[in-house]
Chains A and B, each alone.
Chain A
Amino acid sequence: MSTHDHFDPSRRAFLGAATGGTALTIAGLPSQALARINAPHDHEELKKTTEVFGFCDMCYWRCGLKIRSRDGRAVKIDGNTEHPNNWGVVCAKGNSGLMVAYAPNRLKYPMKRVGKRGENKWKQISWDEALDTVATELNKAKEKYGPQTLALIGHGSWEKPYHRLAHAFGTPNTTSPVFGLCCGPRGVSNMIIMGRNLTGNETIDLENCKYFLMMGRNITESLHNGETLGWVNGVANGAKVVYFDPRYSITAAKADEYYAIRPLTDHAFLLAMINVVINEELYDKQFIAEYVVGFDELKERVQKYTPEWAEPITEVPAQDIRRLAKEMAAKAPSVFVYAPRRMTRTSNDFGTGMAITILNTLFGVWGRKGGVFTPQNYKVPEIDLPKFEHATANRIDVGGDFNYEQPEIPIAHIQDKDGKYQRADGAGVMGRWPIANPQYGLTNEMWKAMAEQRPYPVKALMTAGGNGFLNSTNYDIIRKALETVDFYVATDVIPNEMNMYADILLPEASYLERYDDLQVGGGREGYVAVRMPAMKPLHGTRDAWTICKQLADRMDLGAYFPHDSIKELIDDRLKKAGSSLAEIEKVGILKIPADPKKNFPLDHGGKLKIKTPSGSSKAEMIPGMLKMMGYDKALDYVEQVRPNEDEFHMTFGRIGFHTHARTQDNVWTADLMRENVLWIHPESAAKRGINEGDLVKVSDRKGRSGEIKAKVTIRIRKDTIFMVHGFGHWDSRMTTANGKGLADSDLASYEVDPSIGSMSMGLSLVKVEKV
């Protein structure tokens, strides 16, 4: 039934005249009909929908969702107000998830390569033929080279079953870019000093924090709903924001103070901060006495890093460094030194990460309101599985693809006493990258291992989502790897430049079309969340778990996938936790309520439980394990590259409505930004005769170059250029993104952090000229 409502005919000036007679009589309408026009207006009514729960897959934060469907089709993605990752809000990327499922150019049917690798010539084949081929080829490689010859690179939709399949196959070589190409240095820094991960979904008490020192953490544009909202709330609650970035981002616009710090020099600034905090006794004395070892040695080591030393390096005035240190100390422990999300920039990211952890620790933020809270975890046991012969199970199989739990034996994989295969990328391997996290590995080093076939043959590759080209930097190595392996199978929902090289391409159902293994997480509340299909898989697509099970069955690995369906697996796990699939489907998420005593033990007379990788029950300012291995030199500042007069620092970053390199072809997010532009300072532009909108050529010292339009703005330093990451696609299947903008990834540097092997992407120096 329509709702009728009042309206004011006097407003309808023209119609008033019309009903007077003449005008519309000309149009041939009887006066009876004119009276109808004056009838109350019909109001549009909301169309009826059904709802299911899920969690997002548009980025790796994984917000809780409620998805509305009508006539068997998902029509709107809303947030689940109960989910602590987003509290009901959903960003533009999350809202655009529908266009992943409905993309006319998504991967629809299994395909076999018929041209050369990377030539994009395909033939549609049946699922049986595709899966048989994959099983046969993988087994062939195993027979010839051993199970470790398989590399699995994941960066897609809930990649957990692929990791399980690879581990069951017997390879330790499973990796995701999250470590080596993104957050690695931060994770290791917190782990090795504090025994805490503090990455993934960070456990920061944002709402109650009173002072954010943000080292390039562009939280408004490299945004995760719950984290960003928490921060916005914190700022609204009166927190001071001091933001450091060579570019005036939107976060800079929200800050109380902004420093256009010289690129790559955050570490120098942080060391000077530590120097002031220690020398002026601004640290939390009680916390240091009770929970910290190595303070005296730290004090000695940072003496040379005075604010006056840091000023010419960072271009942050010494007096400001002193003032900021004092301001923070006055607000401690409700303060936080915020690391950048992606921390693979300088030639010593590990040192930068450790300086951040140390500074936070000096302010005693751990376990305190307004600082870092201790998360609660919802215990959901894994299913019973046979032992993994070669790969330790304490990896991706715990808690989904973000492991919130502190592993019982962190960094346990340094030496393999049991004769298990060492990783080809060297993560966790003595003599190579012993302190790199082998749960996610070093994707950059895995590509190298494939390209060079060292230290042993890696002849088979499976990728589950991701885009090796645009999420990394060294295109030559990646291309060589993709051309060198004997067999490459890719699964994904959408086409991209990496899966273009596959021998067999398997089309995955999108996250709106499938069940998946549970999302187990820990915030102030512990939680477990479910992903339910909002519609049936479109085209000939299948969900990840089904693809893996069907492959496992073909390779005699069915014991690792003991259930008949993913629904049974979920139900099995939940029953072990005292619930069931039926129960969680009604609410989407099960939670342990927040508990201030557990979240903030030090505010409630409790104690902090610390266990570092070297076995210390206190935070180690100079981690013993590092000293033993000679890596403690990372604590010291390393001089960074400098551009010549005619060069720039090459920087790149995020915008709030694109995720990495995977949304440029999504028609809804693309409508918000179709191509990236080069940010350049007006003075630097004028010197080169560059005006707004001009096409310019950017070239680096390695001989790589590309063209892009200029945005002339004072929002960037004179010695720095910036572009939004993820553009410059060249896969002809990507009909929206193909040929738009420039790929920063083809200009970023690919040196590695000497301590942990993660990539240093910010060392490129480029020239810019008008085309």
Chain B
Amino acid sequence: MSKQYVMLADTVRCINCKACVVACRAEWETPMGHTRDWVTEVELVQNNQPQVMLFPGRCQHCDDAPCIEACPSGAAYKREDGIVLQDNCICSGCELCVPACPYEARWLNPETNAISKCTFCQPRIDEGLEPTCVQTCVGRALIFGDINDPESEVAKLLQEKEWLQLVTDEVNIGPNHYYYTAGEAIPDEVMPKLNERHLPGTIMKNVVNPVGAIGIGAMLLTFLGAGVVKLISRRDEVNTSENKEEK
């Protein structure tokens, strides 16, 4: 069976120390003002008593990822192991995927002019390492692994406890990120929300694409300028790498 990677966040163990945020910044050299992961501190009042809940967040690597449908260049894609990735060589930086994500996990990296997001540390896990946020997590609140491996910690933990996903009636797109809250309901604040600027995938598929030949102009212009250069360089790069392989 192929791998299916998931991230678990045990919010009882999270202390909002933000080690994950800085480790990610250091690992992937994200520019100031942007982060691929975050911790949301939700302050609640219950029976006039304070309550604080903590939610580490990042790309949820959804099964039915709207960012992929929204991406006009094919840069956003899902790997067989479930990880949603962004091909920087193709990404035009058009940002159509940004409002598509109901978790606000995507942003334009001004240094690369490509979309940046959590990759579950794909380059690290491909070498057998843990994601950097997991490795550094002070409360060991983050647990990562292959859900299809019954011996994995994530598979066992998912069996042992009741885990929740950040899903609503409106947004239920199969996130591969689970949360343990010891029975507490997840507050609305951290729930996914449809962005009104987002052009849903169904429109892309059913309306835009069939009439693409005629009606696409306006949309095309939004990414064309930046995109073409990237598409060409991607073509050149593919050519070069193929040439190398032939040798």
Contact = CB atoms under 8 A, between A and B. Distances in A.
Contact of A46 (B15, B23, B124): B124
B218 to A, nearest CB: 12
A444 to B, nearest CB: 30
Contacts of A397: none
Given A75-B26, A92-B22, A220 B17 contact: yes
A671 B32 CA distance: 8
Interface in A1-56: 2-3, 5-8, 11-18, 20-24, 26-29, 33, 36-39, 41-46
Contacts of B119: 44
Given A714-B45, A714-B48, A715-B50, A76 B232 contact: no
A42 B89 contact: yes
A631 interface: no
A95 interface: yes
B35 to A, nearest CB: 8
Interface string B187-231: 000000000000001001100111011001000100010011001
B79 A36 contact: no
A22 B238 contact: no
B238 A13 contact: no
A15 B241 contact: no
B235 A37 contact: yes
B238 A3 contact: no
Interface in B78-98: 78-80, 85, 87-90
Interface stretch (A209-217, A222-230, A757-765): A222-230
Nearest to A38: B74
A37 B65 CA distance: 20
Interface stretch (B131-139, B144-152, B167-175): B131-139
Contact of A23 (B23, B71, B220): B220
Interface residues of B, number: 76
Given A5-B80, A6-B79, A250-B15, A76 B26 contact: yes
A383 interface: no
A12 B238 contact: no
A254 interface: yes
Contacts of A76: 23, 26-27, 132
B15 A254 contact: yes
Given A228-B138, A253-B52, A14 B15 contact: no
A39 B245 CA distance: 14
A157 interface: no
Interface residues of A, number: 73
B12 to A, nearest CB: 7
Interface in B20-71: 21-23, 25-27, 32-33, 43, 45, 48-54, 65, 68-69, 71
Given A42-B87, A672-B21, A89 B136 contact: yes
Given A17-B212, A37-B234, A223-B138, A11 B68 contact: yes
A43 B137 CA distance: 25
B23 A95 contact: yes
A8 B212 contact: no
Grouping DSSP codes into helix (H, G, I), strand (E, B) and loop, the B interface class, with mixed when no group exceeds half, is mixed
Given A20-B212, A656-B15, A43 B239 contact: no
Nearest to A74: B26
Contacts of B51: 253
A79 B200 CA distance: 43
Contact of A6 (B23, B80, B212): B80
A265 interface: no
A8 B84 CA distance: 12
A713 B50 contact: yes
A12 B77 contact: yes
A715 B126 contact: no
Given A12-B71, A36-B235, A37-B74, A27 B224 contact: yes
A657 interface: yes
B156 interface: no
Contact of A672 (B15, B22, B33, B234): B22
Nearest to B79: A5
A14 B23 contact: no
Nearest to A41: B87
A92 B19 contact: yes
Contact of A15 (B16, B74, B126): B74
A458 to B, nearest CB: 40
Interface in A78-133: 78-79, 88-92, 94-96, 98
A229 B48 CA distance: 31
Given A44-B88, A667-B32, A714-B48, 7 more contacts: A5-B79, A5-B80, A14-B212, A95-B23, A223-B17, A229-B140, A233-B140
8 contacts: A13-B201, A21-B213, A27-B231, A44-B123, A76-B23, A89-B138, A92-B18, A232-B13
Interface of B: 12-13, 15-19, 21-23, 25-27, 32-33, 43, 45, 48-54, 65, 68-69, 71-74, 77-80, 85, 87-90, 119, 122-124, 126-127, 129, 132, 135-141, 201, 204-205, 208-210, 212-213, 216, 220, 224, 227-228, 231-232, 234-235, 237-239, 241
